[in-house]
Amino acid sequence: MTTLKFKIIVIEDDPPIRRFLRTALETHGFEVVEAATGKQGVIEAKIRKADLVILDLGLPDMDGVEVVKAIRAWSEMPILILSARSAEIQKIEALDAGADDYLTKPFGLGELLARIRVALRHASGTSEQTQAGVFSTGNLKVDLINRRVFNGDREIHLTPIQYRLLAVLVKHAGKILTHRQILKEVWGPDCIESAHYLRIYMSQLRHKLEADPAQPQYLLTESGVGYWLKV
């Protein structure tokens, strides 16, 4: 019986990094397709029916953010940024464009593999859970059909806005969402600069859902960028 391999497109213009990624990922059971330019990467991702894209932002023919936008025009496949650009504004720009995660060079292979596993779980397992109407991770369970939330056997009462915030994080579980993305989905486009709303309600959610709000297990912060729900 043949084991189905996940197919990853590596869009990276540096040949040594491409070779390293191919060797490392194939050793761990992934099928790898290389692309040295943004345009080639978009084509490969489309025709090869990829499961995930690893993307460098500094490409010779187009900016990586434009590659993200091009892929997002037709696919929701996970896009993991692997870049030397480390400024918060650059991370936010890539994530706002539709990237799922951002890892800064130099990087550790163990962390990269962990990020890939999270992204693939988000793309498959989480979507199956949300389609079934129930999302769960650890002791946290969200009944999306009946709008009920449980921590273990205990039902947690949430206000409408608290629930809406949690539902957005559940919808994108495992994916980093920027402050602007969350504000737009929860409060609307007129509130995308009102980050204080988000801080207040995230603190309220953590106090209701986390055993230790100061060291959250589920509702995690990406410093200076946004939040994500761990799966």
Same domain, 114 and 133: no
User: CA 222, CA 217: separation in Å to the nearest integer?
Assistant: 13
Same domain, 111 and 162: no
User: CA 106, CA 102: separation in Å to the nearest integer?
Assistant: 12
Same domain, 21 and 114: yes
Same domain, 115 and 166: no
Q: What is the CATH number of the domain that holds 171?
A: 1.10.10.10
Q: Given this model, what pLDDT does residue 168 score?
A: 93
Same domain, 25 and 91: yes
> 72 with 46: CB under 8 angstroms?
no
Same domain, 138 and 170: yes
Number of domains composing the chain: 2
SS3 state at 36: coil
- Across 5-15, b (16+ Cβ under 10 Å) vs e yields ebbbbbbbbee
Same domain, 22 and 99: yes
Across the beta sheet with 226-229, what order do the strands follow?
A: 177-178, 226-229, 219-222
> In this structure, is residue 1 part of a structural domain?
no
Same domain, 136 and 115: no
**Residue where a domain stops, chosen among 75, 104, 123:** 123
Which tens digit of pLDDT belongs to each residue from 144-159?
Answer: 889 999 999 999 999 9
User: CA 34, CA 89: separation in Å to the nearest integer?
Assistant: 28
Q: Given this model, what pLDDT does residue 128 score?
A: 57
Q: What pTM did the predictor assign? A: 0.78
Q: What is the CATH number of the domain that holds 61?
A: 3.40.50.2300
Same domain, 108 and 161: no
Weakly modelled stretches of the chain, pLDDT under 50 = 1-3
Q: Given this model, what pLDDT does residue 2 score?
A: 38
Same domain, 144 and 65: no
Domain residues for the domain of 158 are 128-229
